[in-house]
Amino acid sequence: MTRSNRLISANETIGSVPAAERGLPAQIAARMGRSILRGELRPGDKLPKETDLLDQLQVSRTTLREALTILTSKGFIEAKQRIGTSVRAPSAWNTLDPMVMSWHDDEDEQALAQELFEIRSAIEPLAARLAAARATEADLAQLRAALATMAEDNSNPRLAMEADIAFHLGIIQAAHNRFLAPVGSVIRAALTISVPKTFAKFGGMSHALGMHEAIVKAIEQRAPTKAAKAAEKLIADTYERNFG
């Protein structure tokens, strides 16, 4: 069948959808989303008719419509009266949405992680600079607590990795910029991919603790330029370790 009249490959089954995608509508949306990301359906292509999709997927009309609602909310498709439902351009996709992130194939994960790191290199030094000027005592306490938990990586790796993510999100929060705060989703997405890999590769957090500590010290000293440079050093080192 052609690209435009079959959204689900014949060799794919609903049962192979990752367990993290809870609920049948979410599973259907994930499968459709992956087909769009792979280019099996391209911007401007129309989705198959509802009756054809129901036949392909063997789900109820309610389930299918809920799945299409998810895809619409993520910016992947749009329905127009008398035209039908078609795929939107990538510029409309909510690429930072955690659900959309999970739709990428494993082979695309490395490229995705690298692009997210590139965004981090622009965001985090700025956030550290602002945090050095605006962080409250509560912000500083949260950063210190995250750093302390990271240091316990040998006794509780899972909590240490969660603390690493919390540390970087804490800097975004400490910047106290209402427009910067939503970009924390980029940081979370990048770290969710990279932290476990870095942890496994280097056997813990010890190689990076000093660089994290330098960022906190600069923020505590109210030294914006020093904080930004410390953040740049950490990100550059992490980038080199992951992609160099």
Q: pLDDT, tens digit, for every residue of 132-146?
A: 999 999 999 999 999
pTM: 0.72
* Burial class, 228, CB count within 10 angstroms (exposed 0-12 / middle 13-18 / buried 19+): buried
pLDDT, one tens digit per residue, over 76-135 is 999 998 889 999 999 999 988 878 988 987 767 778 888 888 889 999 999 999 999 999
Q: How far, CA to CA in Å, does 61 sit from each of 25, 58, 72, 149?
A: 10, 9, 16, 48
What is the Cα Rg of the chain in Å? Answer: 21
Cα end-to-end span (Å), the chain: 42
pLDDT at 16: 38
Residue 224 has pLDDT above 90, yes or no: yes
More confident residue, 98 or 35: 35
pLDDT at 76: 98
Structural domains in the chain, sorted by start = 3-92 (1.10.10.10), 105-243 (1.20.120.530)
Residue 4 has pLDDT above 50, yes or no: no
Report the pLDDT averaged over residues 228-241. Answer: 92
